[in-house]
Homo-oligomer: A and B are copies of this chain.
């Protein structure tokens, strides 16, 4: 469907010959199978916002600083917001040399640039973390959720071994529209939080721990076996993934 056809379609809508809903459906149908930009080593997807609600996100590991910078430039040139995860200050320097206005979040290991293509979320996303060592993952989630248009309330160091610290924040927990709960070690926090709220809880196991924490596997397993309802789980240390899900929930109207 070329731009003339798009124009014709919009004319039909204006004239009442086509309902906006029908026109919208036809537009999306086409756009969802739309082209991409081939860089040889990667295919940059310019219609991701249409299909998935947020532009393509760059996962840092396994790409050179140059590759990341080139992809970033294409995304920003496409008019999109920029989010690069699991990255370093060196990569940031390479990106900043090509793209103006990018920010580096050290603890969260992310690079962001807010574009104009992001719709605001409906409510607040609470990001709760069990311990100080979980903060890099929690911040990856928080920064990612913010760049996707969501207000974020951070609630850190509220692990279950000191239950009074968590219960003291009961009001903030129940004010959330969706929660991201981050924990390593025994991963019990989502179960406790899940029993206190009636909105979705996205549990993020972290690789924090030693010995039989097995790099976060124990926390993951605990979260998958939560006796609380309403808890779903993402991969170990996947703060971004949790944010993407929470944001897609928080954008439902």
Contacts and interface: CB of A to CB of B under 8 A. Distances in A.
A69 interface: no
Contacts of A242: 232
Contacts of A220: 211-212, 224
A207 B198 contact: no
Interface stretch (A10-18, A59-67, A88-96, A109-117): A59-67
Contacts of A195: 51-52, 160-163
Interface string A180-211: 00000111100110111111101001011111
A199 B248 contact: yes
Given A200-B245, A227-B131, A32 B211 contact: no
Given A132-B42, A186-B222, A210-B237, A231 B252 contact: no
B245 A45 contact: no
Contact of A232 (B177, B222, B225, B245): B245
B198 A188 contact: no
A226 B67 contact: no
Contacts of A212: 217, 220-221, 224-225, 235-236
A61 B244 CA distance: 29
A226 B196 CA distance: 21
| Copies of this chain | 8
A23 interface: no
Nearest to A51: B198
Contacts of A160: 160, 188, 191-192, 195, 227-228
In this complex, which of A162, A214, A233 has the most chain B Cβ atoms within 10 angstroms of its Cβ?
A162
Given A62-B133, A161-B195, A202-B232, 4 more contacts: A160-B160, A187-B222, A210-B235, A211-B235
Interface of A: 25, 28-29, 32-34, 36, 40-43, 45, 51-54, 57, 61-63, 67, 122, 130-133, 135, 156-165, 167, 170-171, 174, 177-178, 185-188, 191-192, 194-200, 202, 205, 207-238, 241-242, 244-245, 248-249, 252
Q: List 6 tightest A-B contacts by C-beta distance, closest first.
A: A62-B133, A211-B236, A188-B188, A232-B232, A161-B228, A161-B195
8 contacts: A54-B229, A186-B188, A186-B225, A207-B211, A211-B216, A211-B235, A212-B236, A218-B221
